[in-house]
Amino acid sequence: MQKLISFAFLLIASSLCHAQTVSEYKLGPWNLGMTRAQIIAQSEYGPYVPVKATGGLETFDATLDGKKENVSFVFDGDKVKFIQVFKYEGTDFSGAREAALNIFRLFDSQFGGTTVNGVSVHGHERLDMSSFTAFIDRTLGKSIELGEKEKKEHSIAMLITFDMKPVTQPKNCRLHSQLIYDSRTKTFYVFLFQDELGASDRTRTSVIEISPL
């Protein structure tokens, strides 16, 4: 009987370990730690242009999952320290919504699910598709209206940021997404960051930052 219990425990432990095993994440042909020359050599995804603000490189012609996207590379010396994908940038909420859902699907299918900082449903931080969709619609979906209200009544602009992470991070990097609305420019941004394992946490200290107009 004792042997049977021990065997059952081993099976359960093995199953749990297998469930927590997460594959590595690779973004297109690039890897963290690549040199500038190695990035530029991936000419199929170029041309690459310098970014004055960061000293890095950027391509506007990267086809990922069948869609052209803007990808930015930031360096530490001559090595890529993080990659930023502009999943959406524009004034259309529906475009931002779909980009956010695409990241949700990535995290849900490969990395154990999705969490949004400060958001839980019935005590659970992992959000299912319906909960995440409702969250997006009730927050970012109302941000244009809220921004106009605050502009009219208080002459302030708002920068709204929600931080989104996978439940389990990949073995080779850290993934982080930010869903943003800037009422000053009436622009939505959906970013996906691929950081080194030891990188600082990107989570914002405040969901809403206000500034005078």
Contact 144, 134 (CB under 8 A): no
pLDDT, mean of residues 151-175: 96
User: 189 pLDDT exceeds 80?
Assistant: yes
pLDDT, mean of residues 65-94: 94
User: 81 pLDDT exceeds 90?
Assistant: yes
The pLDDT of residue 63: 80
The pLDDT of residue 13: 40
Cα gap 86→200, rounded to integer Å: 20
pLDDT, mean of residues 2-18: 39
User: 14 pLDDT exceeds 70?
Assistant: no
Look at strands 48-51 and 56-64 and give their pairing.
antiparallel
Cα gap 89→93, rounded to integer Å: 10
Q: Which residues pair with 163 in a beta bridge?
A: 178
User: What's the pLDDT tens digit per position in 34-64?
Assistant: 999 999 999 999 899 999 999 999 999 888 8
Residue 33: closest CA among 195, 206, 200: 195
134 vs 2: which has the higher pLDDT:
134
User: What's the pLDDT tens digit per position in 100-112?
Assistant: 999 999 999 999 9
pLDDT, mean of residues 137-156: 95
Indicate the pTM of the whole model: 0.86
74 vs 11: which has the higher pLDDT:
74
Q: CB count, 10 Å around CB of 51? A: 13
Share of the chain above pLDDT 90, in %: 77
Contact 22, 32 (CB under 8 A): no
User: 146 pLDDT exceeds 80?
Assistant: yes
Contact 205, 152 (CB under 8 A): no
The pLDDT of residue 11: 37
Look at strands 114-116 and 187-195 and give their pairing.
unpaired
DSSP states along 56-90: EEEEEEEEETTEEEEEEEEEETTEEEEEEEEEEEE
Look at strands 79-90 and 67-76 and give their pairing.
antiparallel
